[in-house]
A and B are shown apart, each in its own frame.
Chain A
Amino acid sequence: GAVVSQHPSWVICKSGTSVKIECRSLDFQATTMFWYRQFPKQSLMLMATSNEGSKATYEQGVEKDKFLINHASLTLSTLTVTSAHPEDSSFYICSARDWEAKNIQYFGAGTRLSVL
């Protein structure tokens, strides 16, 4: 199946700093990528839909100035958590949709963010 690479897999940062997470589709072009947040023992919570070459669409309640999304190419989307606080600590997962492969969403391995 298609591969989505997410980096880093784990990051620890100080409160107030910014963290960038990368999501790459390795063997297909993804005009649309998705960013999810997942709390322990809970389901995936869609944060935003990232569209190549245009602004991301954020879900209600997600601060777009806090979670900056850039989708500059067909294979790369980035999520930057700005001025991170301990409550931003979570598991962030990206996915990319392979339109040529029956619309399947393939997921990255996730990034565990810990803000001290």
Chain B
Amino acid sequence: GESVGLHLPTLSVQEGDNSIINCAYSNSASDYFIWYKQESGKGPQFIIDIRSNMDKRQGQRVTVLLNKTVKHLSLQIAATQPGDSAVYFCAETEKGNNDMRFGAGTRLTVKP
């Protein structure tokens, strides 16, 4: 199952700083991970993904790091902007499994 009914942890950063959002997962068999961004009143949007055969993947201003040893996933946002303010969810899934499990989410607030 996924995180249910948990209140969101928060992260506040200054505009221009780098942000790091962390996520721990529990299923060692998970082999595909996704980060989503959810702005207020909207559905989650895909940001970046990574497969378990990689430990790092870069996108535009975002980097995802995967540490399978400790089952930890992180999202790094470079030069954080006010438009990055949102809730960020990690999600994990296992090949052949229909379920996608979501983390509790982290609310990122960017201060101007």
Partner-B contacts on A (CB < 8 A): 1, 4, 6, 32, 34, 39, 41-46, 49, 59, 91, 93, 95, 97, 102-110, 112
CA distance A103 to B34 in the complex (A): 10
Main DSSP-derived SS at the A contact region: strand
Contact A102 B3 (CB under 8 A): no
B1 and A59 contacting across the interface, CB-CB below 8 Å: yes
Chain A hits for B46, CB < 8 A: 1, 104, 106
User: Does B2 touch A at the CB level, under 8 Å?
Assistant: yes
Q: In chain B, what residue has the closest Cβ to A107?
A: B43
Query: How long is the Cα–Cα vector from A47 to B93 in the complex, in angstroms?
Result: 17
Quick one: given A43-B8, A45-B4, A105-B91, are A112 and B43 in contact (CB under 8 Å)? no
A-B contact pairs, 22 of them (CB 8 A): A42-B6, A42-B105, A43-B3, A43-B4, A43-B5, A43-B89, A43-B103, A45-B4, A46-B2, A49-B99, A59-B1, A93-B43, A102-B32, A103-B93, A103-B95, A105-B34, A105-B100, A106-B46, A107-B36, A107-B44, A107-B45, A110-B43
